[in-house]
Amino acid sequence: MAIQSAEEYIAAHPGWEEELTKLREMILGTDVEETIKWGAPVYTVGGKNVLSIAAFKNHCAMWFYNGALLRENTALLENAQESKTKALRQIRFEKGEDIPVEQLRKYVLEAVQNQKEGKEIKPEKAKRNVIPPELESAFAEDPALEVAFKNLTPGRQREYCDHISEAKREATKQSRLEKITPMIKAGGGLYDKYKNC
């Protein structure tokens, strides 16, 4: 069942209910609109994503879609994927960790102000996908796989290529290739199962 509200999202994560509720109440005290995107609460200004909150197995987090633009409030921010993420910044909280609500409010207010001023980091033009040799070999053995791959969006193609290329061991690359082959043929993306939570 798809999550329809922030209350449902929080209820679905009972281990993080207190932390998520504190974050949500603080965020709603600012000039944002609350919506659900990708199965989690997202806070927008003028229809543009500003920040979001989410719970994971070992932590909960608040992230800012254009967090790299924050100048005054940066001490708690971290880049989750240094080589991949240009704009997104997050703040993670572990169980039992104090949530510094007043300090976080300053981050939210700065992010909201940046959005109101139209500040954003423009995405770079997508680089051309480099198809890993393992996938090229699979195409040679299974032409239907190549046709299905070429029918995917460039973003989905990149996800699959990166998934194989990032593995260090050849055995891991082959294992990943075996797992993603049916997903490619089904026309789905590598992370689709997370998008419908």
Segment 46-87, tens digit of pLDDT: 999 999 999 999 999 999 999 888 888 888 888 877 777 788
Segment 166-188, tens digit of pLDDT: 999 999 999 999 999 999 999 98
Instruction: Output the pTM of the full model.
Output: 0.64
Strands 89-93 and 33-37: unpaired
Above 60 in pLDDT, residue 196? no
Would you place residue 197 in the very low, low, confident or very high pLDDT band (cuts 50, 70, 90)?
very low
- Percentage of the residues of the chain whose pLDDT score is greater than 70: 94
Q: Where are the domains of the chain?
A: 6-116, 133-195
The token duo for 97 is: 């960790």
User: CA 151 to CA 184: how far, in whole Å?
Assistant: 9
Segment 112-159, tens digit of pLDDT: 999 999 888 776 666 678 899 999 999 999 999 999 999 999 889 999
pLDDT confidence of residue 120: 83
- Percentage of the residues of the chain whose pLDDT score is greater than 90: 71
Sequence-separated contacts (24+) of 2-9 with Cβ below 8 Å: 2/39, 2/196, 3/36, 3/39, 3/40, 3/197, 4/36, 5/36, 6/34, 6/36, 6/41, 9/36, 9/39, 9/40, 9/41
In CATH terms, is domain 6-116 a member of 1.10.630.10? no
